[in-house]
């Protein structure tokens, strides 16, 4: 069974530029999460989807961050414009169903903003 796929794995951009990250969850997993992981810290939830509905986006900085999950499968997380402080690893995870406590993580996208 394929795991959670994320791309790109690494991205370097200049500040004020836009950037997008893509996530393909494990087949059949209805719940999808985006996390932000700063260096030396644990992941922090940005947004959680149940199918195509964002059920928890309270931690998403909506002035510059946006996300979508069309058709309830793949998801895209976008930052526009990027700031220096956005440099971090962006992790995607999926769960088989709502409320499942087992989350399967992708390898992440390491973003560097210069």
Partner 1 sequence: AQSVTQLGSHVSVSEGALVLLRCNYSSSVPPYLFWYVQYPNQGLQLLLKYTSAATLVKGINGFEAEFKKSETSFHLTKPSAHMSDAAEYFCAVSDRGGTSYGKLTFGQGTILTVHP
**Tokens encoding 9:** 């794995």
Helices (H), the chain: none
Shortest CA distance to 36 belongs to which of 11, 60, 8, 10? 60
Shortest CA distance to 54 belongs to which of 36, 34, 37, 38? 34
Residue 61 CB, nearest distance to partner 1 (Å)? 18
**Tokens encoding 50:** 């149940």
Residue span 48-87 as binding mask against partner 1, x where in contact by CB under 8 A, dash where not: x-------x-------------------------------
Q: Which of the stretches 13-21, 62-70, 80-88, 89-97 binds partner 1 when contact is defined by CB under 8 A?
A: 89-97
Nearer to partner 1, 81 or 107 (CB): 107
Contacts with partner 1, residue ranges (CB under 8 A): 4, 31, 40-45, 48, 56, 91, 93, 95, 98-108, 110
């Amino acid at each position: 069974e394929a795991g959670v796929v994320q791309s790109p794995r690494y991205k370097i951009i200049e500040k004020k530029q836009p950037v997008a990250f893509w996530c393909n969850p494990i087949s059949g997993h209805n719940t999808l999460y985006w996390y932000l992981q700063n260096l030396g810290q644990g992941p922090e939830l940005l947004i959680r989807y149940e199918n195509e509905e964002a059920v928890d986006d309270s931690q998403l900085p909506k002035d510059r961050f946006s996300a979508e999950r069309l058709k309830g499968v793949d998801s895209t997380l976008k930052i526009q414009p990027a700031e220096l402080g956005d440099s971090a690893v962006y992790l995607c995870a999926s769960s088989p169903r709502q409320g499942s406590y087992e989350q399967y993580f992708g390898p992440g996208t390491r973003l560097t903003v210069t």
